[in-house]
Amino acid sequence: MGAQEQINELKNEFRELLLSTRREGIADLLAWLEETDFYSAPASTSKHGAYEGGLLNHSMNVYKLLANFNKNIKCDREDSLVIAGLLHDVCKTNMYVKGIKNVKTPGKREWTEKEVYMIEDELPIGHGEKSVYLLMKHIDLTEEEAIAIRWHMSGYDDAARSYIGGITQSKAFEKYPLAPALAIADMYATYFAD
């Protein structure tokens, strides 16, 4: 199966999962995603999923891990697992562009040009915050979904490194089991599944 066929297969599964939530506005959200590069975007510039369709693949991996974690966290709403898992990184839509970078050839004194992904964030309001903002233009999020998506970067979120931000994140993780579960699923997918 070629790369485009894999993307199309994942896209169909992604869409079916979101439609299964029967969430008001989900069709509008899916129509908006079609207008973006969500399905073809990378998940990062170089760390994980730095390839065409990487964001879609990463999102599916996070959802599957989160659904598996639910055996322990017992989230009451299956639709919350789908929404949080699949859409936590919607902030990465229309954010990556291809560019050229000079990279050193290992063990040699030469440089070569390499095509890479670079970030051009046109709505720089934060990572999790941006996902919540973009999603709420189309669908209502539960409080737990919004908080889980907001804090899915865990300790990698700059706000969590401040005194007040750290306290806020800690309270969010204590109050809403979906929040730490999403953060763990995201980290696991990043380092072991993508």
Query: What is the full DSSP assignment across 48-87?
Result: S--STTHHHHHHHHHHHHHHHHHHHH--S-HHHHHHHHHH
- Across 66-70, 135-139, 159-163, least confident range: 159-163
pLDDT for 34 equals: 97
Q: What is the CA radius of gyration of the chain?
A: 17
Q: What is the pTM of this model?
A: 0.91
Band of residue 160 on the pLDDT scale cut at 50, 70, 90: low
Grade residue 161 by pLDDT with cuts at 50, 70 and 90: low
Residue 103's SS3 state is strand
Is residue 174 scored above 80 in pLDDT? yes
pLDDT at 18 over 70: yes
Q: Work out the mean pLDDT of the chain and round it to a whole number.
A: 92
Q: Identify the pLDDT of residue 20.
A: 97
Q: Which runs of consecutive H residues, i.e. helices, occur in the chain?
A: 3-20, 26-35, 54-73, 78-87, 128-135, 143-150, 163-175, 178-188
Is the pLDDT at 130 greater than 70? The verdict is yes
- pLDDT: which is higher, 157 or 101: 101
Angle at 159 between CA 157 and CA 164, to 5 degrees: 140
pLDDT of 194 over the 90 cut: no
Q: What are phi and psi of 21, to 5 degrees?
A: -70, -20
**Could you tell me the pLDDT band of residue 175, with boundaries at 50, 70 and 90?**
very high
Q: Say whether 119 sits in a helix, a strand or coil.
A: strand
Mean pLDDT, range 49-65, rounded to an integer: 96
Three-point CA angle 187, 190, 193, nearest 5°: 115
CA distance 87 to 157: 17
pLDDT in the model for residue 4: 86
Share of the chain above pLDDT 70, in %: 97
pLDDT band for 3, please (50, 70, 90 cuts): confident
The pLDDT of residue 166 is 73
